[in-house]
Amino acid sequence: DAGVIQSPRHEVTEMGQEVTLRCKPISGHNSLFWYRQTMMRGLELLIYFNNNVPIDDSGMPEDRFSAKMPNASFSTLKIQPSEPRDSAVYFCASSSGQGAADTQYFGPGTRLTVL
């Protein structure tokens, strides 16, 4: 079975540009999570969806970040405009439970570099 799929795997962009990260969760999973990982801040939850509805977006850093889940098999995380401090690895994860405390399956991540 395919795991969580993320694209692109690597993204290099210039400050001010729009960046869109994509995620396809495991089929049948009804919860989806976006995380950001940096050396300084560790693994941070940005937002999570349950049944395509955003449940907790308290981790979204600021208005430049937005996330959508138009259907059960696709989600996007958009940064507009991007800044160098957004450079990080962004992970998408999914789970089959109702809450964020269920076992999560992570995608391979997108390594974002903003110059």
Partner 1 sequence: GQQVMQIPQYQHVQEGEDFTTYCNSSTTLSNIQWYKQRPGGHPVFLIQLVKSGEVKKQKRLTFQFGEAKKNSSLHITATQTTDVGTYFCAPNTGTASKLTFGTGTRLQVTL
CB atoms within 10 A of CB 14: 11
Interface with partner 1 includes 57 (CB under 8 A)? no
Q: Which residues pair with residue 71 across a beta bridge?
A: 74
CB of residue 81 vs partner 1: minimum separation in angstroms? 27
CB of residue 55 vs partner 1: minimum separation in angstroms? 6
CA 98 from chain centre, in angstroms, equals 18
Residue type, 13: T
Span near partner 1 by CB under 8 A; candidates 13-21, 63-71, 72-80, 95-103: 95-103
Residues 22-51 that bind partner 1 (CB under 8 A): 33, 42-43, 45, 48
Give the Cα separation of 68 and 60 in Å (integer).
12
In the list 24, 36, 107, 112, the residue contacting partner 1 (rule: CB under 8 A) is: 107
CB atoms within 10 A of CB 102: 14
* Helix, strand, coil abundance in the chain, percent, nearest 5: 5, 55, 45
In the list 7, 52, 55, 73, the residue contacting partner 1 (rule: CB under 8 A) is: 55
Nearer to partner 1, 55 or 72 (CB): 55
Residues 74-93 that bind partner 1 (CB under 8 A): 91, 93
